[in-house]
Amino acid sequence: MSPPSSWFTEGHMCQAIQVGNVISLSHPKPSKWRILEVLREHDYQKYETAKDPSYASVQLSSEALEDFQHAHTPPLLGYLEDQQDRFGPVPGGFITYYAWEAMPGIRLGDYTGKATRFWTLDKKEREEIRVAFRQIYLEITSMGIWPDSAAATNLVWNSETKSLTWVGFWNCRAAQPQPWKDWRLALFDFVKSPDNSWTDPDWNGDTSKWEY
């Protein structure tokens, strides 16, 4: 098996995701996508005897080569579940391709886990985002799920519609609907706390020293 760090930078997979290449997807209907840019890679590789699946992914910027005649295009535009050939990084292993709609707006964070872009916005807009975040939290958990390792980088803010969209997460876990708690704002770096007292299970809920 190839080392994870080389799966998308050399060999067969590197050739498969070259800019200009076309990827064919099968669902919900056949479609073709031309690769415009290789954006970034993600590896989550377990040891060989692990029971849970390992993950390796690469994010691409692409354009549709077919016109989707939908009044409202769904976020998931197409996918293909396939099996790697003998030249793949894991010969005979599974491989899945997804095409997601690029959502309008700005990502609120970066891969440090901080809401870097969020803090460049004015105070009024930051509060609008907090209101939208409370709403999207309640809506997502009411479905019984929550994105794994979620952070501000997984949220796109559309200032025109005053709405947030989840993007870029690769797994989710079961979650019971729970009432809103303000410590979730600190978790996503949507407020600045002088200490980490909000992480204490017995936190008294005091937000008087928080920066908004």
**Per-residue confidence (pLDDT) for residue 75, from 0 to 100:** 60
Tokens 């990084």, residue?
89
Closest CA to 154 of 169, 142, 143, 139: 169
Give the list of residues 6+ apart from residue 139 with CB closer than 8 angstroms, or none.
Answer: none
**Per-residue confidence (pLDDT) for residue 2, from 0 to 100:** 42
d(CA 46, CA 198): 32
In terms of Cβ atoms closer than 10 Å to its own Cβ (0-12, 13-18, 19+), residue 188 is: buried
Set out the domains of the chain in order of their start, with CATH numbers: 4-100 (no CATH), 106-199 (1.10.510)
Digits of tens for pLDDT over the chain (212 positions)?
Answer: 444 455 666 666 677 777 777 777 777 777 777 777 766 555 555 445 544 555 555 554 444 444 433 333 336 777 778 887 787 767 777 777 777 777 889 999 998 889 999 999 999 999 999 999 999 888 888 878 788 778 999 899 999 999 888 887 667 788 888 889 999 999 999 999 998 899 998 899 999 999 99
Q: Indicate the pTM of the whole model.
A: 0.64
